[in-house]
Amino acid sequence: MDRRNSAAYGASWTKSTCKKAVTQHYSRPCQRRLIYDNINTSRYREKIMSFRLRKYALASIAAAASLGVTSMASAQIDMKIGYPTTADPQHDYAVKFVAEVNKRTNGRVKGRVFPTSQLGKIPRQIEAIQLGTQEGFFAPPGFLQGVNKAFQVADVPGFFADHAHAHRTLNVPRFKNPFNSLGVDKGILSGSLWVYDGASYMATKPIAKLADFKGLKIRVLATEIERKGVATLGATGVPIPFTSVVPSLQRKVVDGARTSLVVAAKAKFPTVTKHLTITNDYYIPCISAFSIKFLDKLSKEDRATVLKVSDELGHWASARSQSFVDKMIVEWKKTGATVSYLPPEEQKLHMSRLAPLADEVFGKNKNPTIRKLYAVLKEEAQRMDVR
């Protein structure tokens, strides 16, 4: 057999075949040399194949790892924002907030809004952000007093000259920062604190003077300061969930409600209450409460973005709320409702009765956090009053 033919046949030989051939059939040196060459060729071929397999395996592992990193880097985090209102400044704030967060995080945090308590009643939504099953909840902080009683301090009555005065005061860092952190040990951190509107009374009976409040049952938030506030008017405060107010008015469970004329107009209050009395005896704040479990999922950069955007837009929302008031007064009048203000001397008397009430409820409270925050708020309200 010549070398050319042996090379052709050797390509299909195995090592065992070659060794057997050497020992049993080939005795001449040239024949043995030819067979050993084929054995070496086979061994070399195996090394080449083994190297290629290892190379391909490593490349596959690297590609899979790269794909995993890319997938993690591009993973989108869902951010569900719930709140009890709709078609109002709070809704506008929520819509603008999720759009801005999506923009600044390049889509890494994708927000969705759920107005009119679509994610559940207010207590359920608060529980959800604590558990981390809901990412954000936007509402007045008084709703979170079950998380921390000190959340009701921002509802202080009789302190503020107007909307702007209230917003300036609440946003002083030495008050806002500790206030927004009141729920941290319960899994909640707020990113903003802004003023929604002043309080008004809407009722089934005319209220043109202080004496008209006597004997009325008025829906209020479930806070001590609100219940005692309407008590100074000779009325009784009845805590009722916001979504149940209109049915309660229809069934005559209550005679009226104390809330914002803006949110009341959007919630169809004028269909059952034809008398609006604007007092602005306290200003309704709003917060953006976030689940800490949600925030902990974010990168350091994206977490900072969420909190920064919520704070920045709080100032925008407060200004927007002011622009809503005049429009909503017109809407109230279109329904045939009467719009009234207390006589100046009675308005002054009403406010003078509320200021000492804040000292009683907050200044002498057994809770040291409430006392401390109230002292700061009272001092800053005086400092920020430009009258």
Instruction: Report phi then psi at 202, rounded to 5.
Output: -120, 130
Split at pLDDT 50, 70, 90, the class of 3 is very low
Contact between residue 26 and residue 32 where contact means Cβ atoms under 8 Å apart: yes
- Write down the domain spans for the chain: 3-73, 77-383
Residue count (the chain):
387
AA letter at 253: V
Higher pLDDT, 78 or 224: 78
* Confidence band for 221, pLDDT divided at 50, 70 and 90: confident
pLDDT tens digits, one per residue of 157-172: 999 999 999 999 999 9
pLDDT at 52: 61
Read off the tokens for 204: 């089934």
CATH 3.40.190.170 corresponds to the domain 77-383: yes
d(Cα 167, Cα 313) in Å, to the nearest integer? 13
Residue 128: per-residue pLDDT: 99
Q: What is the dihedral of CA 376, 129, 223, 151, to 10 degrees?
A: 0
pLDDT tier for residue 362 given thresholds of 50, 70 and 90: very high
* CA 286 – CA 308 distance, rounded (Å): 16
* pLDDT for position 75: 82
- How far apart are alpha carbons 137 and 126 in whole angstroms? 7
Which range (50-64, 114-128, 348-362) has the least confidence?
A: 50-64
Per-residue model confidence (pLDDT) at position 18:
47
For range 195-215, the mean pLDDT: 97
d(CA 238, CA 220): 6
The predicted-structure confidence for 143-196, as pLDDT tens digits, reads as follows 999 999 999 999 999 999 999 999 999 999 999 999 999 999 999 999 999 999
Say how many Å lie between the first and final Cα of the chain, rounded: 116
In the three-class reduction of DSSP (H, G, I as helix; E, B as strand; rest coil), residue 366 is classed as coil
Question: Would the pTM of this model clear 0.95, i.e. be above it?
Answer: no
Write the pLDDT tens digit of every residue in 257-313: 999 999 999 889 999 999 999 999 999 999 999 999 999 999 999 999 999 999 999
Distance CA 365, CA 376 (A): 14
Could you read off the pLDDT of 16-35 as tens digits, one per residue? 554 454 455 545 555 555 55
* Cross-strand pairs, 256: 203, 218
Tokens at residue 266, please?
Answer: 């959007």
- Please report, for the chain, how many H helices and E strands are present, in that order: 14, 9
- Kind of pairing between the strands at 256-259 and 188-203: antiparallel
pLDDT band of 15, cuts 50, 70, 90: very low
**pLDDT score at 22:** 47
Name the E strands within 247-376. Answer: 256-259, 275-291, 338-341
